[in-house]
Structure 1
Amino acid sequence: MKHLADLLLLGDPRLYQSCEPVLESELPLVPDWVADLHNVMEEIRAMYQFGRGIAAPQLGIMKRLIYLNVDRPQVIINPELTAVSDEQDELWDDCMSFPNLLVRVRRHRSLTLRFRDELWRPQTWDVTDWGLSELIQHEYDHLNGVLCTMRAVDAQSFRWRPTPTH
């Protein structure tokens, strides 16, 4: 089982690599990968009070796999963004791989995502919820070796996260 100490941090060269697709023959490995992603996300939530999604490469699993847990757990295998809206908004983005840094980025308001679920069934998801759309774009970027630091609106688009109070 992977833990917070296994999370790749800003500067690790693996975070800048594109991931390989999950093969159907690797489907038996997915539950263990998802358990690791879930475990690390829960540790981040406990320590930093944020975390709605995590991408496999953040744990050194160089596969096109995203785990979301917003209203319920969701496994996204081999996602493809097939459409994005022209309309965009800005937000202060955060990332588990640099949990104390916030980055101002611009993301599309809505998108269409094609992927396979944990049973290898093809899915298409039209996402119109802004919070979910920006989250999916953030995690999808990880699969392509892109960090939100690389999408900063400008040179002043960085700030430290306020320290959580317990």
Structure 2
Amino acid sequence: MKTIADIVLLGDPRLYEQCAPVLEAELPLVAGWVADLHAVMADIRATYHFGRGIAAPQIGVMKRLVYLHLDGQPLVLLNPELVDLSPATFELWDDCMSFPNLLVRVQRHQQVTVRYRDEHWQLQSWTVQDGISELLQHECDHLDGILCTMRAIDPHSFRWRPTPA
């Protein structure tokens, strides 16, 4: 089982790579990847007190897989694709498990629809807005090798997160 020590950190070249699609033949591997993603996210939450989603490349699995854990409910998104991005946007301070003490001011679409396959290989579609929209954009960016540092509004859009007590 992976732990917080396995998180791929800022500067690691894997974070800048585009991930390969999850293939239907790889479905038997998904449960293990998800268990690792869940374990690392639990460690991040316990250590840094944040974390609602994590992308597979953040633990070195270079596959198009996002794991969310919202309100106690896990959600697995295989090969997610963002469609129907709203023209309306908003700004926020984004955080990332790959650089947990850094916050980055970014602009995100207020609403998006994501198409994906679930862990049973069924096609799904989900329209979300605001905080969940931002989260999905952040995690899907990871699958394309894009970090929120690359989406900073300007050179002054960085700040340190206070160290948790």
TM-score bracket, normalised by the shorter chain, equals over 0.9
Counterpart for residue 49 of structure 2: 49
Deviations 1:42-97 (A, max 9, x none): 00000000000000000110000000001210000001111100000000000000
Distance 1:12 1:137 in 2: 21
Distance 1:92 1:81 in 2: 21
Q: CA deviation at 1:122?
A: 0.3
Distance 1:101 1:50 in 2: 12
Distance 1:18 1:103 in 2: 22
What SS does structure 1 have at the residue aligned with 2:61?
Answer: coil
Counterpart for residue 19 of structure 2: 19
Counterpart for residue 156 of structure 1: 156
Q: Tell me the TM-score normalised to structure 1 length.
A: 0.98
Distance 2:84 2:14 in 1: 27
CA RMSD in angstroms, aligned pairs only: 0.5
Q: Are 1:3 and 2:31 an aligned pair?
A: no
Q: Tell me the TM-score normalised to structure 2 length.
A: 0.98
Q: What percentage of aligned pairs have identical amino acids?
A: 68
Distance 2:122 2:115 in 1: 11
Query: Structure 2 matches for 1:37-116, cutoff 5 A?
Result: 37-71=37-71, 72-116=73-117
Which runs of 5 or more residues in structure 2 are unaligned?
none
Which one-letter code corresponds to 1:150 in the other structure? M
What SS does structure 1 have at the residue aligned with 2:32?
Answer: helix
Distance 2:106 2:83 in 1: 21
Q: CA deviation at 1:164?
A: 1.2
Runs of 4+ in structure 1 deviating by more than 3 angstroms, as ranges, are none
Which one-letter code corresponds to 1:99 in the other structure? P
Q: CA deviation at 1:163?
A: 1.3
